[in-house]
Structure 1
Amino acid sequence: MGGLVARRVGIAVVLLWIVSLLVFAATQVLPGDTASAILGKTATPDSLAQLRAQLGLDRPLLQQYTDWLGGLLHGDLGRSLAAGLPVGDLIGDRVGATLTLAAVTLVLLVPLALLLGVLTGTRRDGKLDQVVSWITLAGVAVPEFVTGTLLALLLATWLGWLPAVSLIPPGESPLAHPQYMVLPVLTLLVAGLASTVRLVRVGVAQAAAADYTEMARLSGIPERRVVRRWVLPNALAAGVQVIALTAQWLVGGIVIVETVFQYPGIGQTLVQSVQSQDIPVVQAVALLIAAIYVLLNLLADIALVLLVPRLRSAR
């Protein structure tokens, strides 16, 4: 078991290094010039050259990458070109806002996905299963930004029940302003349930149709006891996958939802920094998002092996 964990951690470290290369390379091919974006169109060639030298943009790319990576390993995320502040200070509150949004969504989404997945998986082809299947199929087909826009039109513009934009004051917790979290959370719930419910349903349905559950039924054991004793425990792996899938999906989905509702998180920060060509912020946020994704995948893989003993020998 220890060897498996060490191997997975090693793979995660290599993946993060590869991601750092890709992030750095991607920021180098962004359209426009950082120095020109800072000084404006009226900048002279001399002032542009001087600023590039100050920012280190005139150094070879390999040296720029090694300096950046070395700073990351020492906890230095760089300095924002637009705000003139350390990137860590700039995104600190926004990381907290994003984690709050993700945590609230997970707390609501995972129990709902497990409940609906178990109900539909144990009652295959029933009315509830058919209704949920059609709804989840539609949810998978609709992108998050479309779902968010439709919910904003309905609940904010037409009915006036909720604010359409998340105007959370800087430095304050989103939990202190729950009205600004409803639409982002609701959008993530609608989009996330579509795929997670289907995943749980498949796991439960497979366990319910397995040979050992059929033998239990033939032995005269009541269906409720069969479900409670054999189906649900064997569907536990699906529950772990749901949590992992949801958390990983949130990493990407939150970027879109935060942009739609102008929620002050790292997703909106990433979009704004790309638009302003604030390269250090783009690099830090993109690498942070990738690191969270890799870490969640690592934890889910280890948890799955711990919960399903047969996977240990298979690996």
Structure 2
Amino acid sequence: MTRGTARYVAGRLATAVVLLAALSLVVYVGVDLLPGDPATARLGPNATPDQVAVARERLGLDQPLSRRYLEWAGGLLHGDLGTSANGTPVADMLAGRLGNSAVLAALAIVLLVPLSLVLGVALGRRAGSRADGTGSTLLLLTTAVPEFVVAGMLALLVGGQLGWLPATSLFPAGDSPLAHPDVLVLPVLSLLWVSVAYATRVIRAQTLIALRAPHVEAMRLNGIPERTVLRQGVLPAVLPSALQIWLIGSAGLLGGTVLVEAVFSYPGIGTVLVSSVTTGDLPVVQALAMIMGALTLLATIAADVVGAAVGRTRSV
């Protein structure tokens, strides 16, 4: 790593710290403005005003917003995500659920990388052909259909009508989702739907640029086999951009995971987030929003760093 690249990376990391601090403020204040009250959610709708007032005081909700935010942010720095409206530490509630969601996202990313790379390079090599035109049109249409719509269609057709796979992705508490692979197929396919299409389009475009580069043309004129040209001339030029789009895509999978999990009743963070918003369990919503926002921010900055590092390496 050159000195300039190291300086850039350090600058982006410093920016990440500032943005994370700003994100925490936006998340806490924004979620606090949502309808609902943790005290009422904990006591139930039949609680008396006096009981609600006592609960709000016990939860610290009678304190100014600024003081509550500082206490919450300080807890985040020490790994404390707060306490749910039902009295359970948020970290304990999310421990297993985060792992389940991570399995879904990881499987989607593992499949996204080879699928998008193979399809993108294949379409780029056949630019202008009927196969490329058909494939590009299908990819464009695919990107227009959200994950939750695909999830609903798969649950209805494949799970409900055909019965090939479970329409709901439930499994015994305490088990790893990997021990029940049949419940993972439809959610993973739903997540891949848009991600593969978007990444493939980008990689196709980068393949076209690489194929027209002078060094690739020189390799072909010298009679070097096409497979070697792809391996030594095209892929090194395509992979940096592909890595960026995969990183950004992995961040986008987080938002898609929430919706897909809700459709399939998968025991991940998505179902917890939906139920917490519905019941007004604000501490859980704040913690999940912060976690997802932070992961998205870090993935985006990682993509920036990769792009800058590659650009500076090429210019040396």
With the shorter chain as reference, the TM-score category is over 0.9
Instruction: State the distance in 2 between where 1:127 and 1:48 align.
Output: 67
Unaligned runs of 5+ in 1: none
Instruction: State the distance in 2 between where 1:120 and 1:112 align.
Output: 12
* Contact persistence 2:36–2:279 (CA under 8 A): no
2:192 is the counterpart of 1:193: no
1:79 partner amino acid: T
Deviation at 1:221, TM superposition (A): 4.1
What do the CA deviations read for 1:267-302 (whole angstroms, capped 9, x no partner)? 221111111111111111110111111222233333
TM-score (norm 2): 0.93
What do the CA deviations read for 1:62-95 (whole angstroms, capped 9, x no partner)? 000001111111111111112x211111100011
2:43 is the counterpart of 1:42: no
Aligned length: 312
**Which residue does 2:73 correspond to in 1?**
69
Question: Over aligned residue pairs, what C-alpha RMSD do you find?
Answer: 1.7
Distance 1:311 1:12, change over 3 A: farther
DSSP 3-state at the match of 2:292: helix
1:144 partner amino acid: E
Instruction: State the distance in 2 between where 1:228 and 1:176 align.
Output: 37
* Contact persistence 1:305–1:311 (CA under 8 A): no
Instruction: State the distance in 2 between where 1:93 and 1:115 align.
Output: 34
2:179 is the counterpart of 1:176: yes
DSSP 3-state at the match of 1:85: coil
* Selected match of 2:248 from 237, 245, 249: 245
* Contact persistence 2:147–2:194 (CA under 8 A): yes
**Which residue does 1:55 correspond to in 2?**
59
2:90 is the counterpart of 1:116: no
**Which residue does 2:300 correspond to in 1?**
297
Instruction: State the distance in 2 between where 1:163 and 1:44 align.
Output: 44
Distance 1:158 1:199, change over 3 A: same
**Which residue does 1:161 correspond to in 2?**
164
Instruction: State the distance in 1 between where 2:68 and 2:32 align.
Output: 11
DSSP 3-state at the match of 1:76: coil
DSSP 3-state at the match of 2:66: helix
Q: Equivalences for 1:1-315 in 2 at 5 Å? A: 1-82=5-86, 84-310=87-313
* Contact persistence 1:196–1:245 (CA under 8 A): no
Deviation at 1:208, TM superposition (A): 0.9
Deviation at 1:218, TM superposition (A): 4.1
Instruction: State the distance in 1 between where 2:271 and 2:9 align.
Output: 34
* Contact persistence 1:137–1:194 (CA under 8 A): yes
Deviation at 1:102, TM superposition (A): 0.8
* Contact persistence 1:110–1:242 (CA under 8 A): no
1:9 partner amino acid: L
Deviation at 1:305, TM superposition (A): 3.4
* Contact persistence 1:248–1:293 (CA under 8 A): yes
1:166 partner amino acid: S
Moved more, 217-226 or 252-261: 217-226
What do the CA deviations read for 1:5-34 (whole angstroms, capped 9, x no partner)? 211111111111111011111111111333
Instruction: State the distance in 1 between where 2:312 and 2:247 align.
Output: 18
Unaligned runs of 5+ in 2: none
